[in-house]
Structure 1
Amino acid sequence: MRKVGAFLGGLVLLLALGLLVFIFLHSPQYKGEIEINGLSEETTAYFDEHGVPHIYASNASDAYRALGYLHAQDRLFQLEMMRRVGTGTLAEFLGPDVVEIDQFFRTLGIPEHAQTSTEFWNSQADSPWKNATEAYIAGVNEFIQNGTLPIEFLLLGEKPREFTINDIHGIVGYMSFTFGMALKTDPLITKMSRELGQEYLEALSIETLPEHHFIPNFYPDSISNGSLSSLLEKLPVPLLEGSNGWVVSGSKTKSGKVIFANDTHIGFSSPSVWYEAHLEYPGFSFYGNHLAGVPFGLVGHSRHHSVGLTMFENDDQDFFEIKLNPTNSNEYQFGDEFLPFSVRKDVISVKGQDPVEIEIKETIHGPIVNSVVPEIASLTDNPVSSWWVYTMEPTRALEAIYKINHAQDLEDLTAAASLIHAPGLNIMYGDSLGNIAWWAAGKLPIRSEKVHSKIFADGSDPESIPQGWYPFSLNPKSINPPSGFVASANNQPDTLQNGVLFPGYYFPGERWKRIADAINSKDDWTIQEMKAIQLEVVNTDHAQIAKIMLSQIPDFDFEGKERVKSLLENWDGNHELSSSIPTIYYKWLYHVLRLAMEDELGKEAFESYLGSFVMIRSNLPFIRNFDHPWWDKVNTPEKENASQIFSESFKITLQELEAQFGDNINSWDWEKAVILEHPHPLGSQKPLDKIFNVKTDPVPANDESVNKLAFKLNGEGIYTVTSGPAMRILLDFMDVDRSLSVLPTGQSGNRFSKHYRDQASLYTKGKYRYQLMDKNEIVESAKDALILTPR
């Protein structure tokens, strides 16, 4: 037995040593020396205590080549997933389960547009942004060819092909798609319009209401330099969903310098979306947040300027219902004539199976999407075409982002912003000279007055097609306003300079109002005090909704439940984890909406409504209007009213919560109902979820607080937080070298890196760490350097 024990002990030791060797070989290299092809001179990278590379190079080409290598070292599998989604080649890598995703994006035209953008890119003369991008691509490919691939490739039995400029354009296309809301919204609105009628629509906030909060414009005379849902759930990469950004002038800060804040709201994933990197070479110093595969920081700062993003939420996609020629189904009506469909054939390579051939029909409006959008297929038998701003012209996003990173003044930023045709972005800006600014960037189509941008248009009417673009100079903006700050939170901008209020999928502005009210409350802000705004989990609209519903319930329904009534009556909208009020409120709201709407919409459409911006924007006006037709149950002879729905849903809520958490109301803590897990693409398969997913402590989940930690309403009463701030940035130009940030999980996507999840606890606890730019502090934090030498 002793010999057996000794043998087993030795075997365990060998296995442990083998595992350690495997982890060592598959971990990113953060110190030592690596030879890299194409470098002109030795380049140094210091990794700080959170794994952020600080790259010091003698020229731009070496800096971006090093960045490409290090980005791939930490995030190659994420880069692989992003480019395969954007190029419609996911099934080639993952197999038949994701063929429908490839078919969806190919039908929508993203891979085709990537090729068009690549052809445009190749036709352009050499430029600093082209040279930098090609150096970055070479660095990525250097790692693919000579680095140790992350374990995901081993588990899948795959090797990555070389990275290309077309892959970057595919990634940009996917990003643009995720910023759009039309596909998730317009079929539902059209269904309501056709099947229920105008009276039902008027009870909702389909368009921005006067009571909602608008982003104010300020135009200076001149610039001065002082179930589509079920398909999307299969995506192995996150969706971009919203954001907050604000910039405060020195007149309202203690330091007398501009303070900048940004937190982009993106679907949670492991790794998280943003990869941080700090580049230094002669004439350039920039700390950026990068998307996988994109060489320039979409968000970031130099010592002179800082740039952030939020989603504009402008409506840039329309749908056209097509009328077929009664005598020839290969033709469709357009005006007084019949035009032939154009047909595009495509082949999807599928791992382990024969290729799948698809046929995509197109009209003058765009591709027919019935076959890939179930909500449209169930709504009409007629073909429906998608017209999308993004596919109208090649993207110049790389040029724009490069110029934003290298901007020297407001004019440079304006010129760079004008290059962005889609997606619509709010660009937030602040600089060391005291300037603050916001631009709504994106090409805005001129639509006919007869077109409702969220309801399918008549494809046979030539006047229904957008007739051109408003010039960028008319786009909403605010530059050095008298208020002393600019802010955006995905809410409606005020009118274009020509007086047009541009339609979109804007949020009601509760987040914007909380931010604006806080900034206006004092004139001596510090970034330490700004933390409280960024981390706030209060939404007063929900507190108001709770009080309205309570006011309509007869007193006898509260017998024995006075404690619940008291809690809800005195709620200020805070979502603290120790509070039981959100636990009660959200289940109650779900049942109110279910009893009111599911009978008219059906289960699938109701689920779509719960995931739409329309619900968020409509909750308060919907609840306080006791006269709209939604309250009546269509399948009963009597006519129900709001009071009955509130009472019935309240009783159901309390019964279910007692069954779920027990009789003690004080024990229904919000933290017991909230789950946060950052999913990895392979984490959907057990037991790989235990290896790759990052599960954290609960966070104060909420709907439309500044610190938005979003979830979907449901009847189970357990809420998985699916998105939130993908980073939190705070910067005071008094001390740029010690700005603050935090990521939801960690800097590295390599499972064996010590930086895979080392920020998860900081994030859930509302803590920050420094974005270092001072070389002495960086060297001290890193201890050792990684030297990249020419091969």
Structure 2
Amino acid sequence: MRKPLTILGSLTLTGIIGLLFFIYWHSPRYGGELSISGLKEKVEVNFDMYGIPHIYAQNEADAYRALGYVHAQDRLFQLEMMRRVGSGTLAEFLGKDLLEIDQFFHTLGIPKHAKESSAAFLSQGETPWKKAAEAYLEGVNEFIQRGILPVEYLLLGEKPRPYTIEDMHSIVGYMSFTFAMGLKTDPLVTRIARDLGSEYMSSLSVQTLPEHHVIPLNYPDSLNSNLSPVGSTLSALLGNIPVPLLEGSNSWVIAGSRTKSGKVLFNNDTHIGFSSPSVWYEAHLEYPGFSFYGNHLAGVPFGLVGHSRHHSIGLTMFENDDQDFFEEKLNPANANEIMIGEVSYPITSRKEIIQVKGEKSIEFEIRGTKHGPIMNSVVKEIGNLTSNPVTSWWVYILEPTKAMEAIYKMNHAGNIQEVADAASLIHAPGLNIMYGDSLGNIAWWAAAKLPIRGEKVHSKIFADGSDPEAQPKGWYPFTDNPQSINPESGFVASANNQPDTLRNGVFFPGYYYPGDRWNRIAKAILAKEDWDMESSKALQVETVNETHPKNAQFMLALINQNDFESNSAVLQVLQNWDGNHELNSNIPTVYYKWLYHTLRLAMMDELGEDGFKAYLETFMMIRSTRHFLTDAENRWWDRKGTATIESRSEIISEALKLTLEELSDQFGKNPKDWKWEKAVVAEHPHPLGSQKPLDKIFNVRTEAIPANEESINKLAFKLSGAGIYKVTSGPAMRIILDFADVDGSVSVLPTGNSGNRFSKHYADQKQLYAKGKYRPQLMNETEIKNKAKGKLVLIPSN
């Protein structure tokens, strides 16, 4: 008996040693010395306790080459997924199940646009941003050629091809598409308008309502420039994309007149789909004349968010409407032409090849008109709505992107005017650029190219492509864009809500949120003049929404309380709700299920299951709910196909009855056991985590977090009847910086800085994030080097 046990022990020990060697072999290099081709001089990379690289170089090219290398060793597989989404090559890498997504992106035009943008980028000549980007590319490719690839490639039996400028622009295209809310919303709004009519439309917030909160504007006469130099449904289709979608964000910048230190206080938390790894990669670059701490997308050399010692930039989604759909009229005499007025225009056609892993390649035809590509075949909702060609007119693909130039210039800006000039280069997607500096300036610019629409065009209903009055009429100048520079209020803030009327008199349409977050932020800031880091932390992680309690109280007033006498205690608690989403509370558990059933009972008979699901996933649901409930003339309450006319009170009462029954079955008969933490699931999914048992290896699951809709600390989920709410997105980082102490700035990521499963920094921030805590963003060289947990020295290869 002893001998087999000895053999088994030996095998176990051998297996453990082999596993440890495998992990070590596939882990990123955080120390030692490496020879890197192309370097001019030695570069020192110090990794802090959270694996954030602090890169010290003697010149710009070496700094970006080093960044490319360390970024690749931590995030190469994430880069792979993002470039393949944007380039329409997922099927080549992951198989035929992703073919529909590739066809969708090719039809939309992102791969074609990436080629055009790359050609324009390279044709500029030897610009600083081109040289920096090419150095970064060389660093990424150095790792691809000589580094130990992430284990995902081994599991898939694949190897990465070299990274290119075109890939970089494909990633920018992916980022731009994730902001394109029009594809989710406009087909649904068009269907409601055509099938149900204006009475049904009037109970929804298709456009911003008077009760919603708008961002005040403050146009400057001049800027202070004294800073020292330095196939299935679309929802199902998008659900299969193996990278997160960028969804929303908060940012506010407080002037020194309202801070304890007397200096600008900068805050930013971008809201992005949960994923493992999370989206942002933090890196700190130092070389003569440049010092910058940035948050980077995989494959992008410049920080979309970040700060120097003199200025800080952040972003939120503008949510402007930059995509219109034209229903075309075919020429009766020639089916390959469309008509605009009395003039005919050709329908174009091109063919693209999509490679499919393990199978023959697919030749794919893309047809389009002067308005854009025809989308019927790749968006089911459009194909089901009309047999006429429907084209997508999307600002992003109308001209090459200058995103790389803009971001580089913002990173390297010497003053507020240079940031404004860089922001003006961004044509799409629409971004709110937030700004603060050491001189006391605060600013917000809505960066986008805003189209002038014809008077007959409703921005969310398919336009008549044959109407000459419906054609795009040009662009508003950037100087008319929403902005606020050093306002008297002492703060600027954006939270994806509607900007006020522009100085040209236009109330520009968009997919804006109702402003609950913005209002909460604004009220808090205006109530104090001694803001500091600690009070900013408390505000940034707040989970209070003021509208939900009003909805609950309104619904309670419409039911017969005697019908729910056995549940009077829980209804009384709901009546007194302050809108907080504490995990030990049962109120959100009751409220969200009740709201779901109320909307389902009211709307599914008109919209059908797919249409109702689509409605729940648009911005419209969030900003329509209050108006929907309180509209006395709301036609949605009456069920189609019944002899009686159902009332609002009947629907809301029936929904509450279902809610209480289902929660009793789900969590037990005692409402005190219906705690919110039991209903919330928080998981950061990896692209391979949809396959068992890989989910246990790659996905990062955390303890329950206070999920909510439209609180400042927005941890969003999809309403459903299941009664379990999976958090799908939230702050992708939380940054706070006081210009009185730049070295003391803080942040936190949802998972960790590395996307390598065998790195100790794969998920080392998940508990901090879940608990609403922070960690430092180090910039002090002495502190960084004294506290470094690893030093990687990169030397020029001979």
Confirm or deny a common fold (TM above 0.5): yes
Counterpart CA distance in 1 for 2:178 and 2:78 is: 16
Counterpart CA distance in 2 for 1:783 and 1:594 is: 53
Find the counterpart in structure 2 of residue 65 from structure 1: 65
The answer as to whether partners of 1:225 and 1:435 remain within 8 angstroms in 2 is: no
The answer as to whether partners of 2:122 and 2:130 remain within 8 angstroms in 1 is: no
How far apart are residue 246 of structure 1 and its match?
0.3
Find the counterpart in structure 2 of residue 74 from structure 1: 74
**Secondary structure of 1:445's aligned partner:** coil
Counterpart CA distance in 2 for 1:130 and 1:725 is: 31
2:101 pairs with 1:101? yes
Find the counterpart in structure 2 of residue 15 from structure 1: 15
Q: Which moved more, 1:347-356 or 1:328-337?
A: 328-337
The answer as to whether partners of 1:187 and 1:375 remain within 8 angstroms in 2 is: yes
Find the counterpart in structure 1 of residue 134 from structure 2: 134
Q: Pairwise mapping of residues 214-225 of structure 1 onto structure 2 (< 5 A)?
A: 214-225=214-225
The superposition leaves residues 58-81 of structure 1 with CA deviations (integer Å, 9 ceiling, x where unpaired) of: 000000000000000000000000
How far apart are residue 340 of structure 1 and its match?
2.1
Q: Pairwise mapping of residues 376-775 of structure 1 onto structure 2 (< 5 A)?
A: 376-775=382-781
Find the counterpart in structure 1 of residue 237 from structure 2: 231
**What amino acid is the match of 1:6?**
T
The superposition leaves residues 297-317 of structure 1 with CA deviations (integer Å, 9 ceiling, x where unpaired) of: 000000000000000000000
Counterpart CA distance in 2 for 1:455 and 1:56 is: 53
2:229 pairs with 1:241? no
The superposition leaves residues 455-474 of structure 1 with CA deviations (integer Å, 9 ceiling, x where unpaired) of: 00001113212111001011
How far apart are residue 453 of structure 1 and its match?
0.5
Counterpart CA distance in 1 for 2:552 and 2:526 is: 28
How far apart are residue 99 of structure 1 and its match?
0.5
**Secondary structure of 2:77's aligned partner:** helix
Q: Give the 3 Å change call, closer, same or farther, for CA 487–7 of structure 1 in structure 2.
A: same
How far apart are residue 783 of structure 1 and its match?
4.1
**Secondary structure of 1:265's aligned partner:** strand
Aligned length: 791
Counterpart CA distance in 2 for 1:654 and 1:780 is: 58
Find the counterpart in structure 2 of residue 86 from structure 1: 86
The answer as to whether partners of 1:626 and 1:641 remain within 8 angstroms in 2 is: no
Find the counterpart in structure 1 of residue 317 from structure 2: 311
1:279 paired residue among 279, 285, 297: 285
**Secondary structure of 2:223's aligned partner:** coil
Counterpart CA distance in 2 for 1:388 and 1:106 is: 14
The answer as to whether partners of 2:48 and 2:790 remain within 8 angstroms in 1 is: no
Find the counterpart in structure 2 of residue 43 from structure 1: 43
Find the counterpart in structure 2 of residue 165 from structure 1: 165
Q: Which moved more, 1:778-787 or 1:535-544?
A: 778-787
Counterpart CA distance in 1 for 2:333 and 2:388 is: 15
How far apart are residue 387 of structure 1 and its match?
0.3
Find the counterpart in structure 2 of residue 111 from structure 1: 111
The answer as to whether partners of 1:741 and 1:768 remain within 8 angstroms in 2 is: yes
Counterpart CA distance in 2 for 1:390 and 1:192 is: 27
The answer as to whether partners of 1:179 and 1:313 remain within 8 angstroms in 2 is: yes
**What amino acid is the match of 2:627?**
P
The superposition leaves residues 690-749 of structure 1 with CA deviations (integer Å, 9 ceiling, x where unpaired) of: 000001001000000000000000001000000000000000001101201000000000
Counterpart CA distance in 1 for 2:781 and 2:635 is: 65
The answer as to whether partners of 2:93 and 2:357 remain within 8 angstroms in 1 is: yes
When the two chains are superposed, the root-mean-square deviation of aligned CA atoms in Å is 0.7
Counterpart CA distance in 2 for 1:587 and 1:270 is: 28
Counterpart CA distance in 2 for 1:384 and 1:192 is: 17
Counterpart CA distance in 1 for 2:574 and 2:455 is: 44
The superposition leaves residues 728-780 of structure 1 with CA deviations (integer Å, 9 ceiling, x where unpaired) of: 00000011012010000000000000000000000000000000000111112
Find the counterpart in structure 2 of residue 322 from structure 1: 328
The runs of at least 4 consecutive aligned structure 1 residues that moved more than 3 Å come to none
How far apart are residue 784 of structure 1 and its match?
3.6
**Secondary structure of 2:745's aligned partner:** strand
How far apart are residue 555 of structure 1 and its match?
2.5
2:189 pairs with 1:203? no
The answer as to whether partners of 1:363 and 1:385 remain within 8 angstroms in 2 is: yes
**Secondary structure of 1:98's aligned partner:** helix
The answer as to whether partners of 2:455 and 2:469 remain within 8 angstroms in 1 is: no
The answer as to whether partners of 2:278 and 2:752 remain within 8 angstroms in 1 is: yes
Counterpart CA distance in 1 for 2:593 and 2:483 is: 40
How far apart are residue 125 of structure 1 and its match?
1.5
**What amino acid is the match of 2:638?**
D
**Secondary structure of 2:757's aligned partner:** coil
Counterpart CA distance in 2 for 1:271 and 1:485 is: 33
Counterpart CA distance in 2 for 1:610 and 1:522 is: 37
Counterpart CA distance in 2 for 1:640 and 1:298 is: 51
Counterpart CA distance in 1 for 2:787 and 2:469 is: 62
Counterpart CA distance in 1 for 2:578 and 2:564 is: 21
Find the counterpart in structure 1 of residue 338 from structure 2: 332
The answer as to whether partners of 1:225 and 1:433 remain within 8 angstroms in 2 is: no
The superposition leaves residues 359-408 of structure 1 with CA deviations (integer Å, 9 ceiling, x where unpaired) of: 01010100000111111111111110000000010000000000000011
**What amino acid is the match of 1:298?**
L
Q: Which runs of 5+ in 2 are unaligned?
A: 227-232
The answer as to whether partners of 2:53 and 2:284 remain within 8 angstroms in 1 is: yes
The superposition leaves residues 149-185 of structure 1 with CA deviations (integer Å, 9 ceiling, x where unpaired) of: 0000000000000000000000001100101210010
How far apart are residue 339 of structure 1 and its match?
2.2
Counterpart CA distance in 1 for 2:684 and 2:395 is: 32
Counterpart CA distance in 1 for 2:789 and 2:404 is: 34
**Secondary structure of 1:99's aligned partner:** helix
**What amino acid is the match of 1:421?**
H
The answer as to whether partners of 2:273 and 2:728 remain within 8 angstroms in 1 is: yes
Q: Which runs of 5+ in 1 are unaligned?
A: none
Counterpart CA distance in 1 for 2:470 and 2:35 is: 58
Q: Which moved more, 1:590-599 or 1:454-463?
A: 454-463
| TM-score calculated relative to the size of structure 2 | 0.99
**What amino acid is the match of 1:94?**
L
**What amino acid is the match of 2:65?**
R
Give the percent of matched residue pairs that are identical in Structure 1 and Structure 2.
Answer: 68
How far apart are residue 122 of structure 1 and its match?
1.7
Q: Which moved more, 1:551-560 or 1:352-361?
A: 551-560
Counterpart CA distance in 2 for 1:395 and 1:615 is: 32
Counterpart CA distance in 1 for 2:777 and 2:57 is: 19
How far apart are residue 580 of structure 1 and its match?
0.0
| TM-score calculated relative to the size of structure 1 | 0.99
The answer as to whether partners of 2:443 and 2:486 remain within 8 angstroms in 1 is: yes
Q: Which moved more, 1:582-591 or 1:217-226?
A: 217-226
Counterpart CA distance in 2 for 1:340 and 1:40 is: 54
**Secondary structure of 1:354's aligned partner:** coil
Counterpart CA distance in 1 for 2:458 and 2:13 is: 69
2:345 pairs with 1:356? no
Counterpart CA distance in 2 for 1:700 and 1:272 is: 19
Find the counterpart in structure 1 of residue 303 from structure 2: 297
2:374 paired residue among 345, 361, 368: 368
Find the counterpart in structure 1 of residue 230 from structure 2: none
**Secondary structure of 1:454's aligned partner:** coil
**What amino acid is the match of 2:39?**
L
How far apart are residue 627 of structure 1 and its match?
2.2
**What amino acid is the match of 2:111?**
P
The answer as to whether partners of 2:49 and 2:789 remain within 8 angstroms in 1 is: no
